[in-house]
């Protein structure tokens, strides 16, 4: 009887403690689940590796600006070289033109000097036309011309209205006329009608 009464008392107490037991069971279950989740997440954290540091990337804008400056520098050097080359070419052309002009002038001077020397050193021919001269005066003038320096030959041709003396001589016609005036009184400045290289016209 005593045992039965204790059983009844224990059964009633257990019925009153049922909510508490249920609550304890739920708490234990939550603790077990949390512990399981902790164990599951720990290997994941162990396997996680820190990513390697990436080298700092250059600013693309700064790189483009540097490249642009370098290109500008190269272009500046090329322009300087081209300008220097052009200046050198112009200087060479100017020197060449000056040399050509000097040579041309020298050739012209040499040609003039050569003509003068040729006129003085080579035999020239001058035709002397005489108006109003009789045969005696023509002969007298021809003999005077033959005595002039530089005269190699003098041939006369008489005519009633106009006579002619062909003179072979060195030097110019002007110098020949000056020599004739010194050798003969028949030829004066007033008797000279025309003087040209290779031709003299006088009247007596």
Residue 124 burial (CB count, 10 A): 20
Interacting residues of 71 by C-beta distance below 8 A, sequence separation 6+: none
For residue range 105-129, what is the model confidence (pLDDT) as tens digits?
Answer: 767 766 665 555 544 568 999 999 9
In sequence order, what are the beta bridge partners of 156?
165
- 3-class DSSP state for residue 57? coil
What is the structure's pLDDT at 189? 92
pTM metric for this prediction: 0.42
pLDDT at 152 over 60: yes
Q: Summarize pLDDT for 67-117 with one digit per residue, the tens.
A: 677 677 767 766 766 776 666 676 667 767 776 776 677 677 666 655 555
pLDDT score of 163? 95
Classify burial at 141, counting beta carbons within 10 Å of its beta carbon; exposed 0-12, middle 13-18, buried 19 or more.
Answer: buried
Closest CA to 165 of 154, 174, 176: 154
């Amino acid at each position: 009887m005593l045992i039965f009464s204790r059983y009844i008392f224990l059964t009633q107490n257990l019925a009153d403690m049922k909510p508490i037991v249920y609550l304890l069971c739920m708490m234990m279950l939550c603790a077990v689940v949390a512990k399981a989740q902790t164990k599951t997440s720990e290997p994941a954290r162990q396997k996680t590796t820190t990513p390697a540091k990436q080298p700092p990337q250059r600013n693309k804008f700064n790189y483009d600006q540097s490249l642009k400056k370098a290109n500008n520098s190269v272009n500046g050097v090329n322009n300087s070289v081209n300008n220097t080359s052009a200046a050198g070419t112009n200087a060479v052309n100017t020197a060449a033109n000056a040399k050509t002009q000097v040579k041309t002038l020298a050739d012209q001077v040499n040609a003039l000097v050569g003509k003068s020397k040729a006129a003085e050193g080579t035999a020239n021919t001058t035709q002397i036309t005489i108006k109003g001269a009789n045969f005696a005066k023509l002969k007298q003038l021809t003999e005077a011309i033959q005595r002039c320096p530089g005269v190699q030959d003098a041939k006369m041709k008489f005519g009633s209205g106009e006579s002619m003396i062909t003179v072979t001589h060195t030097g110019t016609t002007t110098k020949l006329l000056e020599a004739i005036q010194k050798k003969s009184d028949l030829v004066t400045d007033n008797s000279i009608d025309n003087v040209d290289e290779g031709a003299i016209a006088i009247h007596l």
